[in-house]
Each structure stands twice: as structure tokens, then as C-alpha cells.
Amino acid sequence: MNETLDPSNWDEMRQLGHLMVDDMISYLSTIRDQPVWRPIPDQVKETFSSTLPHNPTNSLAVYDDFKKNILPYNTGNVHPRFFAFVQGTGTPMGVFAEMLAAAMNPNLAIGEHSAMYVENQVLDWFKEFLGYPADASGILLSGGSMANFTALSVARNNILPDKIRKSGLRAQEKQLVAYCSTESHSCIQKSIEALGIGTDNLRKIQVNEAFQIDVAALKRQLQLDKENNFLPFCIVGNAGTVNTGAIDPLDELLAICQSEKIWFHVDGAFGALAKVVTSLSDALKPIEEADSVAFDLHKWMCMPYEAGCVLIKNKKAHRDTFALNPSYLHTDPGGLAGGPEPFNNFGIELSRGFKALKVWMSIKELGSLAYIRMIQKNCAQCQYLGSLISTHAPLELMTPVSMNIVCYRFQFPTDDLTVQNNNNKKLLLELQNQGIAAPSSTILNGHFVIRVANVNQRSQQIDFDILVKESLRIGHEISNNLL
């Protein structure tokens, strides 16, 4: 009757906590001396197939197991030379905030408690940061995918607010169609599929040589769709594509949406925040007038995973998409069930963690200007890397550097594209396996390219010197059949 899951000896638990804090501070402060990434040995992988533990293990032993089999085989995105996918670095304060949030353990579905106010304040701060209207609604989510999904849900329901919730898509006799570019992130397609609209009704418009949506082609498709009795309901603009960091001509997309009365959504997973960089602010300014914008906080805001955000200009449309008021979630004028409007009215999730705390504490600790400097730094580092590559043949820049992404390859002396691609694949794997740096890859116009996406607050100029030097070394070793 009296058993709990709390420790029998709180002082021992406290000591373990101190040890963990010391170890993690050592881990992060010396991360530069570690390999960026290392392969996981088979005997370590085998430890993950043990059966369900029925009986207790001493807490220190559990922690030792973590240090032995989990910690060393991390993704590597905490390292200054991690440039794969688009993965943020995190900060020490973010680590501690996660612990504090877990200790408080509030649920941000509903209610009168401090965490609800913290999240609302954080949302207000991002509206200010992006110049988005102060009366917009928003919600923190797990990441860009959920933020895009949430925005597209509102865009879809906004066509026939009550009827689509009640009768589904058949409430609307015309087929809904949405538009994005061939460079848009896969989460846009997944959202469109999950929303019942179907991939066939997502028009992926071709891009120009700068990987931006071809606006003339978009207009032609839009016209064709209207003539064929489709109902265009949403255009998704890219503020920083995942492949190359391209920014669609958002001003032109906005103008089309305004004249056609179509929802304008911006996927700005990392790029929206680059609006604060002077050289990019004009291109990204139309975000201020978009109907919705999705962006991540675990990328350029350096929050520990995971956190993303969606802002929606029309609060009523947002609420009308998700709000339900069952008796067990009734709100009261006072008491625990009082408080700000439930977040449950603005998304699919009911139970939600206190991810707002890491955001709130980090922004307070560092100030928004520090983030602006980091975003500027990462863009400048990519310009620097681009210029290094351009002046270090046989390295070759595969697309002009826009924003924070650099795509390059080693030009091997061969006319065979398959050999060229395979050798570059090998070069990338060696960079990773040797623990030197962790770019990732993509395919641009049939060419396999090594792709550096830099949202790394820890990286310094020397890291790009190292990347270029080692890419050249490994490339020559492959050329000379030494690898």
C-alpha cells in the first residue's frame, strides 16, 4: 500500500544527480576533442536486445550502462563539426532546463499554472522576433513536421470551417489542391496525405536553376486547375529549402495568394529565423504577411530536441480547426481549471510537456541578439567554406551558397557519373567514419553532393579549414586507390 517509485535514499539520488551534472558538463566542454561520430560495435548493439528487465538494477549501474553503451555512440550533433541533415547543437542551459521541466512535470494541455504563461510568453517573443502580428495564435510542437501539419490542417479546414470537421472532405465537392515546389520538404507531402487530400492533389512545381519555385509554372498550373474544377486552397513557400537553403520568391507567392484568396503558408523550418540577417531580411519579409509559418527551435535556436513552433495569423481559424470542449476538459473562471485558453484548442495533442521552459530560459540567458549573431555567423561561415571550396580544386561548389547550406564534391578524373558519385559517397563515409566531420549528402540534378548544413553554434572558422583539408586528403587518397 505504501510503495512508491521514489528512491529509498534521497541523498544517494542527489549524489548521482551531481555526478551526472559533472559528467555532462565535462562531456560538452571537451566535445571538440572527441570524434564527431563513431560506428557502433556489434557487441554494443547486442546489449540492446536484452529482454524486459523485471527486477531492479542499482541506479548507479543503470547510469554506468548509459555511459558505456549509449553516450559514446551519439549522433554527433553536439560536436562543432557536425553538419548533417539540419540538426541543431543545443546549449548547456537547455540541458538544465530540461531537467527542471521534468522535475516540475506540468502538462500544458490546460489549466492555471505557470508553465501555460511561459509558453504564451515564448510565442509572443517569436512573433516579435519574426515581425509577425501580435494577435496571431501559435503553439509549440515537436518540430517542423508537426508545425507544418498543424498549419496545413488549419488551411484545409478554413475552406469550409464547420463542414469539413463534420463531414470530411466530401463536404467540399471540388477536389482541394495545394502547391509547393519539387524542393519542398517531405513533411509537406506527408501532411497532405494525412489530411486526406492525397499526393495527386499536391502540385510539386518545378524549380529554377537557383532551386526556387518557378512562379510562371505555378501560375500556369493554378489556372489549369481552376479550369478543371479543382479548388486551390494553399500555397506553401520555402524559406530555406532543406537541400540547398533556397528561398522561394515569397513576395510573388504572397501576391498570388492574396489575389486568388488562397492560404499562404511558409515552411521556414530553419530559414524563417534568418529573417534577422540583414542580407536575407528582404527576401524573408513576406513571412510577416503569411497566413501561417512553421519553424523549428531545435535547429537554429539550439534548443535540445525537440521543439518547433507554428504561428497562425487567424486565431479563430486556428481554434475552429481543433477546439472541442468535452466535460472532462471544462474550463472554469478560477481555480486549477481556470487560466489561459487551453493549448488543446490549437492542436491535436492534449498532453504536452514543458518544452517552453528551455526556450524561455535560453532566450533570457543569452538574449535574442546572441541568436542573431549565431545565425549570421553560420551564414558567414558557409560563405567562407564556399570560397575555400572554389579556390581548392578539385573540390567543386555544386550550387551557389545561399543562407547556410554548402553543397560540394571532389571532382574525380572520370567522365562516368556513377563512378564520380560513388567516389564522393566514399569520401563522405570516410569523413564520418574517421570521426573528422559529419556532413550529409543529397542529389542535385543527378549529382551526388556532400552537403554541409550549418546551424551549429559551436563551430568555428578552423572547423571549415579542417573540413576542406581533410576532404582534399581523402579525395586524393581515393584517386590514388589508397582507400
Ligand X SMILES: *Cc1c(COP(=O)(O)O)cnc(C)c1O
Binding-site ranges for ligand X (CB under 6 A): 86, 143-145, 185, 187, 240, 242, 267, 269-270, 296, 308
CB of 440 to ligand X, least distance (A): 12
Q: With H, G, I as helix, E, B as strand and everything else as coil, classify residue 409.
A: strand
Closer of 183 and 463 to ligand X (Cβ): 183
Asked if residue 166 lies in contact with residue 323, where contact means CB atoms within 8 angstroms, the answer is no
* Alpha-carbon torsion, ordered 143, 250, 375, 385, to 10 deg: 110
CB of 364 to ligand X, least distance (A): 23
Closer of 158 and 243 to ligand X (Cβ): 243
Closer of 145 and 221 to ligand X (Cβ): 145
Please state whether beta strands 82-83 and 438-444 pair in parallel, antiparallel, or not at all (unpaired): parallel
Closer of 89 and 420 to ligand X (Cβ): 89
CB of 269 to ligand X, least distance (A): 3
CB of 6 to ligand X, least distance (A): 34
Cα 232 from Cα 375, distance rounded (Å): 35
How does 84-95 read in b/e, with b if 16+ C-beta sit within 10 Å? Answer: bbbbbbbbebbb
Asked if residue 44 lies in contact with residue 400, where contact means CB atoms within 8 angstroms, the answer is no
Closer of 422 and 440 to ligand X (Cβ): 440
Closer of 87 and 221 to ligand X (Cβ): 87
CB of 405 to ligand X, least distance (A): 10
Chain centre to alpha carbon of residue 439: 16
CB of 150 to ligand X, least distance (A): 11
Q: Can you list the positions of beta strands (E) in 72-131? A: 82-83
CB of 187 to ligand X, least distance (A): 5
Q: What share of the chain is helix, strand, coil (3-state, %, to 5)?
A: 50, 15, 35
Closer of 450 and 455 to ligand X (Cβ): 455
Closer of 130 and 187 to ligand X (Cβ): 187
404 contact partners, CB below 8 Å, separation of at least 6: 240, 245, 270, 274, 375, 378, 379, 382, 453, 454, 455
**DSSP annotation of 343:** G
CB of 152 to ligand X, least distance (A): 12
- Written as one string, the DSSP assignment of 249-302 is -HHHHHHHHHHHT-EEEEE-TTGGGGGGSHHHHHHHGGGGG-SEEEEESSSTT-
